[in-house]
């Protein structure tokens, strides 16, 4: 892990750190204005970042805040990628779990009729 004279493209770093599956996805996020470097929107994927910069970007259903700890020459395995940053994201409440199976099985014919009658149908 060297530091390429202390700077690397933001899209390349996001890809090396395994926040995005492809570099193209990382580029699209940056150019769409979803990535911030030290609180300022990154307008171009070619913007350089260095050690100590704080990145804020969406990932899935949460907003990640990470501080760059190191730069990389290649996209390595996940344990190596995790050494590139310090995660400053505040822990969020867990999303609600899927409804649990109540063990009732398939509704009886009478129950299915009641369900179908309770649904509002639009007149065609």
pLDDT tens digit sequence for 98-111: 666 666 777 788 88
Q: Given pLDDT bands bounded at 50, 70 and 90, which one contains residue 84? A: very high
pLDDT tens digit sequence for 68-77: 999 999 999 9
Q: Which of the four CATH numbers 3.30.70.3340, 3.30.1490.190, 3.10.450.50, 3.10.290.10 does domain 4-87 have?
A: 3.10.290.10
- CA-CA distances (angstroms) from residue 83 to 35, 57, 63, 64? 20, 18, 20, 16
Instruction: Identify each DSSP E strand in the chain by its residue range.
Output: 8-9, 36-37, 40-41, 48-49, 54-59, 62-68, 85-87
Helix (H) or strand (E) holding 13: helix 10-16
pLDDT on residue 3: 45
What does pTM read for this prediction? Answer: 0.70
Question: Does residue 83 have a pLDDT over 60?
Answer: yes
């Amino acid at each position: 892990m060297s530091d390429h004279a202390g700077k690397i493209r933001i899209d390349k770093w996001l890809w090396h750190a395994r926040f995005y599956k492809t570099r193209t996805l990382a580029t699209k996020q940056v150019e769409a204005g979803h990535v911030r470097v030290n609180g300022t929107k990154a307008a171009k994927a070619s913007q350089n970042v260095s050690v100590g910069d704080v990145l804020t970007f969406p990932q899935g259903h949460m907003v990640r805040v990470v501080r760059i700890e190191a730069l990389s020459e290649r996209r390595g395995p996940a344990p190596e990628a995790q050494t590139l940053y310090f995660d400053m994201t505040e822990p969020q409440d867990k999303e609600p779990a899927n409804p649990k199976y109540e063990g009732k099985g398939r509704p009886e014919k009478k129950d299915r009729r009641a369900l179908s009658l309770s649904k509002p149908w639009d007149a065609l």
